[in-house]
Structure 1
Amino acid sequence: MEEEANSLQELLPHLFRQEYAKMTAVLCRHFGLKHIEIAEDIASETFLKASENWAINGIPKKPAAWLYTVARNKTKDYFKHLSIFESQIKNELSTGKIQEEQQFEFDNQHIADSQLAMIFAVCNPANSAEAQICLALQILCGFSVEEIANAFLAKPETIKKRLLRARTNLRNDSFQLNSLTETDIKSRVETVLKTLYLLFNEGYFSKTNNQLIRKELCSEAVRLTLMLIENPLTNTPKSNALLALMCFQSSRLDARINNKGEAIVYEQQDKKLWDKSLMERGNYYLVNAFDGNEISKYHLEAGIAYWHTTPDDESKWQHILQLYDQLMLMESSPVIALNRIFAFAKVYGNEKAISEAEKLNPNESNYYHQLLGYLYADQDIEKAISHYGQAIKLTKSKTEKQTLTKEIERLYNKKTSH
């Protein structure tokens, strides 16, 4: 029984992350964005019923299919109850704002179509670009307020207010999922790409849940971006560049952590664990990304990720540094600046890189202190330990703290052995 309970505790959050957003998207296609809370309530009640039922009767053979059956039945029940509501609700039903339940299905194609429509519907100009992305991350990706705050480097209270305003604007707007025009799609695709980029980043280098890597988020980001590629209206050079970036980064996921969940630095990664098929897919989408004259941040980051998957040669890090220099001109950020310093160290050495890093001086960044700890490790062990200690104080991640503590222990042992 205890094993069954543990299995249920692991399975439900996983299914919630994978299926809740899909379920909500299909339901919203029927209820309309004005009634998004109804869709979310039905999806939430479905998972609540699963937690209660499975704890007593055990996990069904096909858990996802069970969930969709319950959601379908709950939706049919809603439509039945709707028929006895006051005339105002009946009138709304007859206007087509809520589709009839006879058309209601959860097949794979319907889910994919609904999610694609939902992404663009949520990225609604009625809200600011940042609010659109916040809402999409919450509704479509199942992000918590804390995860969204981490993605935006903002306070949770700020994100809560932003989400509340965005949902109100969405409710007041009569936009329907089925009325997407070519103009709607083209005007919103930039925000959609940014949302998927942030979704992948949270999976690739997670700041929450004490996990360094969350593969399910990376997989979901790849799946949704692939949907854009498969649609002629959204199969753009930028979309291809973003998918290439995701493929290159995903190819190294298994090599980035050990069996204890601790980070493995790039130089120590086992290249035999790199996924060659994903690298080849990355190459394919990167070639497609240059079908035109546009060069975006996704092109540059995909180029950097490509060079990270290639064998070491004399020019590799020079290419990476040049791409970071271009990226800094296009979109400067503390994270990009620190990543550039790492490449700079590979080309010009740690001593010069330390001087470059100290010019940035973002003292409240744990990544800044991690980088300086790494750069000082072979030159001044005391300073390296001090910076790693500061990084431990600044990070909230339990996994990151463990990895950094282990590195400090290694440096202490190195120091005492001399």
Structure 2
Amino acid sequence: MDGRSGTASPAELIEDLFRKEYAHLVSALTRVLGPSNIPLAEDVVHDALISAMNAWRFGVPDDPKAWLIRAARNRAIDVIRRERRHRSFLPELATMTALTETIEAALAPAAESTGQLAMMFAVCDPGLNRETHVTLILRWLCGLSPKEIGQAFLVDTQTIDRRLHRGRGRLRRLGRLPDADDLPDIDARRDSVLRSLYLLFNEGYHGSNPHDPVRPFLCEDALRLTGLLLEAKATARPDVHALAALFCFDAARLPTRLDQDGVFVPLEDQDRSRWDRVRIERGLMHLAHSASGDHLSRWHLEAGIACEHAIAPSIRETDWDRIVGFYQLLAQQAWSPVVALNHGLAVAERDGIDAGRRELIALAEEPKLSRYPFYWAARADLERRAGSHTAARENYSRAIALSRSPAERGSFERRIASLEIS
């Protein structure tokens, strides 16, 4: 447990522990019960939580994690004994001795990483779309409820339930949860895993929830799951190190993303002395490990961009030439309107405001950007710096109208207010 246990209430401690242990327990029990019985595994874990809530009302045990795992173990044994005549279980659960030994081995700390890695690759089945992959990861590997997932992505709970249903149906065809190194299509799945983790991190870094646009625990979950990939020989690849580097560099800036009023702080106004230097050093280590081989993935390029921002003493002292070069390569691999927008902003820093402004104006017809508040804010920033306050005010107003959260709206309102006093 973390340092919260001394001050947190039993209810808070249970919630925190449950979210952290949910992935371990569900993936372990899925390996034991088989993918066809995922709902049963979820029920067992839920019952263990209810038992903890009832038993801990008058005092938390010395080792809450061990207590919860033991409760899940006992509940799983009871359920299997009761359901054996009506359900199909794996052959190794045929006798009580084998049943007990199998469950204890699956729940042991040594099996935790293997179980979660197997679960992660199983849910990123190529037959499911990426939205479903992320939903399944958030549910089974991060412990979020369907309601929380829906709130994160601004969809209703019924949509999330349908995605979970599709995921369960797909996994039900598996006889058992396969180890990652046993998958014949591991490369295709690994690509989907990396993209899903990228979306997961982004949802934590600057997500779609208007009331909670920065959710650091999702960033931490993305880092934790990326770490699992790096621990396994079958999945420890240079592009995984690159993705880990990207996450580290961006996570280092989390303490300065919002101010005390919950308003987004632009990069140029962030207090760089508050950036997490340990995270930046860790990112540099991952970036060095990513340099092996001859494949330059999009994660390498994005990590390179994030690195330049993380190590620069200021906006003025940033190596914008390198950043422009990285964006040019990224556009060749994975062009998107947002990549083009960021390339234009980097060009403005390297070649001057007029050069960047021309690139941004050329993107005005992109449908995605026309509805993207940060596009209009970026254009407004360049107009403000060029001294064109009327144009800046018009573009800030468009950004405010399109803002998705009070954190965004407050940031744009501050910038438009600064025009009045400049």
| TM-score, normalising length: structure 1 | 0.83
- Give the counterpart letter for 1:376 in structure 2: E
Residues 202-244 of structure 1: per-residue CA shift (max 9 Å, x gap):
2222222623432222222112212211212111111111111
Q: Following the alignment from structure 1 to structure 2, what is the Cα–Cα distance between the partners of residues 315 and 5?
A: 42
Which shows bigger deviation, 42-51 or 335-344? 42-51
Q: Is 2:77–2:99's contact at 8 Å kept on the other side of the alignment?
A: no
Q: Which residue of 1 aligns with 2:31?
A: 29
Q: Is 1:350–1:375's contact at 8 Å kept on the other side of the alignment?
A: yes
- Give the counterpart letter for 1:402 in structure 2: G
Tell me which of 324, 340, 343 is aligned to 2:343. Answer: 340
1:57/1:398 CA distance change after superposition, 3 Å: farther
Q: Which residue of 1 aligns with 2:3?
A: none
Secondary structure of 2:341's match?
Answer: helix
User: In angstroms, what is the RMSD of aligned CA positions?
Assistant: 3.3
Tell me which of 389, 403, 406 is aligned to 1:381. Answer: 389
Shift of 1:326: 1.1
- Give the counterpart letter for 1:76 in structure 2: I
Which shows bigger deviation, 317-326 or 276-285? 276-285
Q: Following the alignment from structure 1 to structure 2, what is the Cα–Cα distance between the partners of residues 360 and 149?
A: 31
Shift of 1:116: 1.0
Secondary structure of 1:103's match?
Answer: helix
1:169/1:302 CA distance change after superposition, 3 Å: same
Shift of 1:181: 0.8
- Give the counterpart letter for 2:361 in structure 1: E
Q: Is 1:21–1:140's contact at 8 Å kept on the other side of the alignment?
A: yes
1:232/1:64 CA distance change after superposition, 3 Å: same
Which shows bigger deviation, 96-105 or 141-150? 141-150
Residues 357-408 of structure 1: per-residue CA shift (max 9 Å, x gap):
2322222112222323333333333443443343333333233333333434
Shift of 1:177: 3.4
Q: Following the alignment from structure 1 to structure 2, what is the Cα–Cα distance between the partners of residues 44 and 381?
A: 57
1:179/1:322 CA distance change after superposition, 3 Å: closer
1:299/1:156 CA distance change after superposition, 3 Å: farther
Q: Is 2:32–2:90's contact at 8 Å kept on the other side of the alignment?
A: no
Q: Is 1:26–1:111's contact at 8 Å kept on the other side of the alignment?
A: yes
Q: Following the alignment from structure 1 to structure 2, what is the Cα–Cα distance between the partners of residues 144 and 388?
A: 36
1:393 aligns with 2:401: yes
Q: Is 1:32–1:177's contact at 8 Å kept on the other side of the alignment?
A: no
Shift of 1:148: 6.5
1:247/1:50 CA distance change after superposition, 3 Å: same
Tell me which of 37, 40, 47 is aligned to 1:38. Answer: 40
Q: Is 2:246–2:283's contact at 8 Å kept on the other side of the alignment?
A: yes
Q: Is 1:248–1:305's contact at 8 Å kept on the other side of the alignment?
A: yes
| TM-score, normalising length: structure 2 | 0.83
- Give the counterpart letter for 1:221 in structure 2: A
Residues 156-205 of structure 1: per-residue CA shift (max 9 Å, x gap):
87665444333212213334335851635344211111122222222222
Residues 102-122 of structure 1: per-residue CA shift (max 9 Å, x gap):
332434322222111111122
Q: Following the alignment from structure 2 to structure 1, what is the Cα–Cα distance between the partners of residues 225 and 92?
A: 28
Which shows bigger deviation, 99-108 or 238-247? 99-108
Q: Which runs of 5+ in 1 are unaligned?
A: none
Q: Following the alignment from structure 1 to structure 2, what is the Cα–Cα distance between the partners of residues 208 and 41?
A: 28
1:116/1:389 CA distance change after superposition, 3 Å: same
1:260/1:178 CA distance change after superposition, 3 Å: same
Q: Which residue of 1 aligns with 2:169?
A: 168
1:275 aligns with 2:276: yes
Residues 86-127 of structure 1: per-residue CA shift (max 9 Å, x gap):
3x53xx336347982333243432222211111112222443
Residues 289-315 of structure 1: per-residue CA shift (max 9 Å, x gap):
121100100000011011112235667
Shift of 1:287: 1.7
Q: Following the alignment from structure 1 to structure 2, what is the Cα–Cα distance between the partners of residues 138 and 215?
A: 17
1:159/1:211 CA distance change after superposition, 3 Å: closer
Tell me which of 357, 360, 373 is aligned to 2:360. Answer: 357
1:47/1:380 CA distance change after superposition, 3 Å: farther
How many residues align structurally? 405
Secondary structure of 2:362's match?
Answer: helix
Q: Is 1:151–1:198's contact at 8 Å kept on the other side of the alignment?
A: no
Q: Which residue of 2 aligns with 1:237?
A: 238
1:241/1:153 CA distance change after superposition, 3 Å: farther
1:381/1:296 CA distance change after superposition, 3 Å: same
Shift of 1:58: 5.7
Which shows bigger deviation, 277-286 or 289-298? 277-286
Shift of 1:65: 4.2
1:402/1:275 CA distance change after superposition, 3 Å: same
